[in-house]
């Protein structure tokens, strides 16, 4: 299964809903809660909100308006990740003087702009998601990747202030069905052609990795009889695994040879 041959998944309505949930949360939390530390290392709830605003402004400036001045040019993936982290931190440090109300109102404005921009896109045009492909991906997948990032950061905010509510359940199917495409790009294990690994993502569905015998694996949705290895995740464990967070106890069951199972745990649906 290839992303360009996969049925389009249009998450634009989910992005609008996610933004609405974010704005409601930010309007309800206290000034003290804005400053609470989150699971994102070194970042508070306020820092995460500023990062989401930066993400909006980047999409609009580089994508909608074609302004290349904010693009990072590096020689390799590791350098890019380092440069991006430094760029993100500079923005957050420089915007610390903004109040919670200002940040919220800016996120409301930028969310409206993003909805209009998303609506203008041809979903079969090309985008880039480096954790899923070295080459182009359909733009619908790039948009879905944006949902995963925004959802994860809002979840980190909600957990920091004790307001997770049912936020996970409403978005996890779409989030996990996007994250799963990290597997065929990053899973590199030598195995005979036809070797199979069953991956159960709970709310994200059942998936099978199939070896082509050269160290590359294809991804198919469904169940295979008698797989050579199996990984079963709870929905909560699945998103935490794919973002490098700590897995909950009893959230994961691995069955099969370690050489097939252990490399799965290094796969990430984020830049890392």
Domain-located, residue 163: yes
Same structural domain for residues 57 and 151? yes
Once rounded to an integer, what is the mean pLDDT over residues 56-81? 88
Same structural domain for residues 121 and 30? yes
Same structural domain for residues 40 and 158? yes
pLDDT band at 131 (very low <50, low <70, confident <90, very high): very high
Report pLDDT digits (tens) over 203-260: 999 999 999 999 999 999 999 999 999 999 999 999 999 999 999 989 999 999 999 9
Domain-located, residue 271: no
Q: Which residue reads 């050269």 in tokens?
A: 214
State yes or no: pLDDT of 1 exceeds 70.
no
CATH number reported for the structural domain that contains residue 234 in this entry: 3.30.1050.10
pLDDT band at 91 (very low <50, low <70, confident <90, very high): very high
Report pLDDT digits (tens) over 12-50: 999 999 999 999 999 999 999 999 999 999 999 999 999
Candidate from 144-153, 162-171, 227-236 with smallest mean pLDDT: 162-171
Same structural domain for residues 37 and 152? yes
pLDDT band at 2 (very low <50, low <70, confident <90, very high): confident
Helix ranges (H only) for 180-271 are 182-186, 235-242, 258-261
Q: What does the alpha-carbon distance between residue 136 and residue 139 come to, in Å, rounded to a whole number?
A: 9
Domain-located, residue 272: no
Same structural domain for residues 138 and 20? yes
Same structural domain for residues 122 and 197? no
Report CA torsion sign: 56, 57, 62, 66: positive
Count up the domains in the chain and report the number. Answer: 2
Helix ranges (H only) for the chain are 12-28, 31-34, 45-58, 77-94, 100-119, 139-161, 167-179, 182-186, 235-242, 258-261
Determine the 3-state secondary structure of 224 from DSSP.
coil
Same structural domain for residues 167 and 217? no
Domain, as residue range, for 20: 3-179
Report pLDDT digits (tens) over 51-68: 999 999 999 999 999 998
Domain-located, residue 140: yes
CATH number reported for the structural domain that contains residue 98 in this entry: 1.20.120.450
């Amino acid at each position: 299964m290839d992303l360009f041959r996969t049925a389009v998944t249009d998450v634009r309505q989910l992005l609008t809903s996610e933004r609405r949930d974010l704005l409601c949360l930010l309007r309800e939390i206290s000034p003290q809660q804005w400053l609470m530390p989150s699971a994102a290392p070194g970042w508070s709830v306020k820092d995460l909100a500023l990062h989401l605003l930066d993400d909006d402004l980047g999409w609009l400036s580089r994508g909608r308006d074609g302004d290349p001045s904010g693009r990072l040019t590096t020689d390799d993936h590791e350098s890019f990740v380092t440069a991006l982290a430094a760029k993100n931190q500079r923005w957050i440090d420089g915007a610390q003087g903004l109040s919670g109300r200002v940040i919220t109102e800016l996120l409301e404005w930028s969310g409206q702009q993003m909805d209009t921009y998303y609506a203008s896109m041809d979903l079969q045009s090309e985008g880039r998601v480096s954790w899923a492909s070295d080459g182009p991906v359909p733009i619908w997948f790039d948009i879905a990747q944006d949902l995963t990032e925004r959802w994860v950061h809002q979840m980190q905010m909600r957990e920091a202030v004790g307001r997770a509510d049912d936020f996970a359940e409403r978005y996890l199917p779409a989030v996990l069905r996007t994250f799963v495409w990290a597997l065929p790009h990053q899973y590199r294990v030598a195995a005979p052609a036809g070797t199979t690994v069953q991956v159960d993502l709970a709310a994200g569905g059942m998936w099978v990795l199939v070896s082509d015998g050269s160290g590359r694996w294809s991804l198919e949705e469904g169940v295979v009889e008698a797989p050579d290895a199996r990984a079963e995740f709870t929905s909560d464990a699945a998103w935490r695994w794919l973002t490098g967070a700590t897995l909950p106890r009893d959230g994961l069951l691995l069955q099969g040879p370690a050489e097939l199972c252990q490399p799965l745990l290094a796969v990430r649906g984020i830049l890392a």
